[in-house]
Chain A
Amino acid sequence: MRAAVLADAAAQRRLSLAWNALEFVEDPEIPALSIVDLGLIRYINPQPDGRLDVGLSPTYVGCPATEVIRHSVTQALRTAGVGDFIVTQVLSPAWTSDWISVEGRRKLAIYGIVPPEKAASSMRDILRDNRPVACPRCQSTNTECISEFGSTPCKALHRCRACLEPFEYFKCI
């Protein structure tokens, strides 16, 4: 009984060690955010064979950062000494910007990127949604989209007509 409780406590410690380590893995394109803030780590599950299975979702299928992130995850877990693990690519359910945490949204805003507003739950939202995005600098809604795609697939480029600053918007997906 006592041995089982101890083993359980050790397993819990190992899990929190892994989660803590991943909290410090930055997104290479948006260093303000950790991959945990972004909701890219879907789960960490101990396997019957003793390994930890770490579920990692890509934001966009062609995002070059995906490879870098996978590498960083491996490095971080090794450095933290969590023992044997595997990293599994999780495609389903597909990653959504809704999984960015409250903390993640706050960090994005401080970094100057307007966080995604709401769930793009229906096609109509993405194809027809032309509501203005508020400028992160002066809060004016007198803004325009100047490019649907920005420096990374996940962001669009906007411009504020009031204060004339360009800014980035993290797209809903």
Chain B
Amino acid sequence: MSAALSKVEAQNLFRYVLRLGDLSLVLGQRLGEWVGHSPALEEDLGLANIALDLIGQARLLLTYAGEIEGRGRGEDEIAFLREHGEYLNAILVEQPNGDFGHTIVRQVLIDAFQLELYQRMTASTDERLAAIAAKSVKEILYHLRYSSGWLVRLGDGTEESHVRVQTAMDSLWPYTVELFADDELDRAMADAGVAPRLAEVQAAWIARIDKLLEEATLKRPASRPHSWHGKRGQHSEHLGYILAEMQHLQRTYPGARW
């Protein structure tokens, strides 16, 4: 935080940083489910490494959120001891992994989103977010290199692989709308120069995705109005299962350390 924030500003920034941090945290947890189950050892390593980077982002962001909140909560407490409705991730990241192609499609959509968002956030008026963004962008580039490489191979691969990733694209696409639907919090952050305008991020994202879809011989599904509000804490049933697994240890053995 560069300057002293008013109570409302601090509360807004806290919630905004949670949106960013929870996106990374939940997706990192989801990808972790692949460990030991990937189609090949190389993909096990790839997905686990991306999961690690995402959890690294979440650590930096949730630590920062705790400092903004100023009630002494650290990264672990925020990550592991909140309730369902307090997680502010868009619900795309909590969607189940499905098959490998399904996971890759979800990953491409998010990697491209994070890339366009964080590239612009390197110019944030919030120095801490600018630093986290600059660090993360470099890693996200490697995530996108991995996921888009697979999207093209699967889309432009066999008839079977093509059908599978197109089906995954059709079923996941509706959830992308929430990423770019700006509400009063997103607008307040953009007004303050903390975050870029989501419309700008969306335009760059769609251009990047369209190019990839073309290369992968896939069709872009139609966008429909959405009624998801994960960013406000209203989640699909999937998040509950994720949290049950993620929080089990912390809740069973409060304060456990190793």
Mutual binders A and B: yes
Tell me the A residues contacting B by CB distance below 8 Å: 58, 60-64, 91-96, 120, 123, 126-127, 146-151, 153, 157, 171, 173
For A126, what are the chain B residues with a Cβ–Cβ distance below 8 Å? 138, 141-142, 145
In the complex, what distance in Å separates the CA atom of A127 from the CA atom of B56?
21
B141 x A123 contact (CB < 8 A):
yes
Interface flag for B50 (CB, 8 Å): yes
Distance in Å from the Cβ of B71 to the closest Cβ of chain A?
Answer: 22
CB of B52 within 8 A of CB of A63, answer yes
B residues 12-57 with Cβ under 8 Å of A? Answer: 28, 42-43, 45-46, 48-57
Residues on B facing A (Cβ under 8 Å): 28, 42-43, 45-46, 48-57, 59-60, 115, 119, 127, 130-132, 134-136, 138-139, 141-142, 144-146, 148-149
Interchain CB contact under 8 A, A61 and B53 = yes
Chain B residues positioned under 8 Å from A147 (CB to CB): 42-43, 45-46
Q: Given contacts A92-B135, A94-B138, are A153 and B52 in contact (CB under 8 A)?
A: yes
Which of A94, A127, A148, A171 touches B135 (beta carbons < 8 Å)? A94
Across the interface, name the chain B residue whose C-beta is closest to A151.
Answer: B45
Other-chain contact of B149, A63, A148, A153 (Cβ < 8 Å): A148
Contacts beyond the supplied A92-B130, A127-B145, A149-B146: 5 A-B pairs with Cβ under 8 Å: A60-B56, A60-B139, A94-B131, A148-B146, A153-B49
Chain A, Cβ-Cβ closest to B47: A149
Chain B interface mostly:
helix
Q: Is the Cβ of B49 less than 8 Å from the Cβ of A61?
A: no
Can you give 23 contacting A-B residue pairs, CB < 8 Å? A58-B135, A60-B53, A60-B56, A61-B135, A61-B139, A62-B51, A62-B56, A91-B132, A91-B134, A92-B127, A92-B134, A92-B135, A94-B138, A95-B135, A120-B138, A120-B141, A123-B115, A126-B141, A127-B144, A149-B50, A153-B53, A157-B45, A173-B138
Interface centre among B48, B50, B130, B142 (most CB of A within 10 A): B142
Q: Is the CB of B139 within 8 A of A173?
A: yes
Which of B119, B141, B149: most chain A Cβ within 10 A? B141
Assuming the A-B contacts A126-B141, A148-B146, A149-B50, are A92 and B131 also in contact, with contact meaning beta carbons closer than 8 angstroms in the complex?
A: yes
Contact A64 B52 (CB under 8 A): yes
- Bound-state CA distance A87–B49 (Å) is 26
Closest to B45 in A: A149
Q: Within the complex, which residue of B42, B55, B59, B60 is in contact with A146, where a contact is CB–CB below 8 Å?
A: B42
A62 touches B141 (CB 8 A): no
Interface pair B145/A62, CB less than 8 Å apart: no
The reply to whether B138 and A149 contact each other, CB–CB distance below 8 Å, is: no
Q: Are B142 and A63 in contact (CB under 8 A)?
A: no
In the bound complex, CA of A63 to CA of B136 (Å): 12
Residues of A within 8 A of B142 (CB): 126, 148-149, 171, 173
- CB nearest to A61 among chain B residues: B56
- In the complex, what residues of B have CB within 8 A of residue A148's CB? 46, 142, 145-146, 149
